[in-house]
Structure 1
């Protein structure tokens, strides 16, 4: 198992600079990560850094709260694709989900998916704020709306990915969407466990550590 191809190498902090994005992209090229995950203002710049490589660009929208208007999210997603993003990681409107306005949540996801066409859409649930039932409902809404992935977390909530939440998500999507675990994935054992559970993408800022530690562990045997 090549863990590098599961990794969305991530830099989403408010203080990120061009130099840090250059370092992120250089690491992604060196270790052949699947993608880098960046804020929208860095998409075009990252595209330049990753020219002539296979590394994809994932852009976050409605991040990290998910509470901007649907129209703004649709524009943001379209703009990121125009600037070179291959994938969109959107935060669903958590408040609307909690107040049981499921029509709003599903319609928003659907409109964003329509706006980005064949490009992949990952829906961030922010599971730390949701009950088991709410996670299941959010997954079904995402699937109904045509999303390609459901994703655990922004990394900015009260907690990140958990094995329990991923298991709930896996059962809820029932093979109709892929799963991305993100938030707090800092060691090889945890990463491998998620992959064994069926996760197909890992969002982490510790991608280099995961890959180099994995190589080190192999060399001990």
Structure 2
């Protein structure tokens, strides 16, 4: 199955999350988003209101990472961060799972952490990052099932900041774990159209990429997710 580049535009979350990003960078990023027709962007919380100001007239959603990029913040901190981001215009939430609790087999803590952010998001699409590069295959499946049970909308492979990333094998594994009716977002290391096509064929229905322009235009980029 060939995935048309036009179709990729509708499922790619264009991201700019590097810690040194300036306001000028965000402005250029938003201009590219408008030019290429991407439907959703992700920026760090500090820039949500500015990106929303630039993109809302074009019906482009601004998403925000929560508990980024380690996941070790308290649940209340993640909830507060979510609510503030929403006040600033965020319309999608990508939160990082509590990796320490997962590794400690404190699964009730993991579920509570996710469920509270889902509750705070008030119906916005909520994706939960498992950071697959730091987990065993068994932990990936466990995390995915906990995410489904917690009421989120997507399981997401990685931040791209802590090693690992989206692989065909992991996307297939996550799709199998959550079933056909739950979202799977692949992120981390997707650089080319061919990468994106393989990931979609493996079962991803959303992609997070800082290389979105290169993916849909056939160019190359050295951007870091």
- TM-score over 0.5 for the alignment? yes
Of 201, 205, 214, which residue of structure 2 is paired with 1:196? 201
Q: Aligned pair 1:205/2:210, yes or no?
A: yes
Q: 1: distance between equivalents of 2:152 and 2:180?
A: 12
Q: 2: distance between equivalents of 1:175 and 1:75?
A: 32
Q: Secondary structure at the match of 1:50?
A: helix
Of 151, 172, 179, which residue of structure 1 is paired with 2:177? 172
Q: Secondary structure at the match of 2:42?
A: strand
Q: How many residues align?
A: 214
Q: CA deviation at 1:91?
A: 0.4
Q: 2: distance between equivalents of 1:209 and 1:54?
A: 22
Q: In the alignment, which residue of structure 1 is the partner of 2:44? A: 39
Considering only aligned residues, what root-mean-square deviation do their CA atoms show, in Å?
1.0
The TM-score with structure 2 as length reference comes to 0.93
Q: Aligned pair 1:187/2:187, yes or no?
A: no
Q: Secondary structure at the match of 1:158?
A: coil
Q: Aligned pair 1:139/2:144, yes or no?
A: yes
Q: 1: distance between equivalents of 2:207 and 2:89?
A: 21
Q: In the alignment, which residue of structure 1 is the partner of 2:77? A: 72
The TM-score with structure 1 as length reference comes to 0.94
Q: In the alignment, which residue of structure 1 is the partner of 2:116? A: 111
Name structure 1 gaps, 5 residues minimum.
215-221
Q: 2: distance between equivalents of 1:152 and 1:160?
A: 7
Q: Is the 8 A contact 1:102 1:141 kept in 2?
A: yes
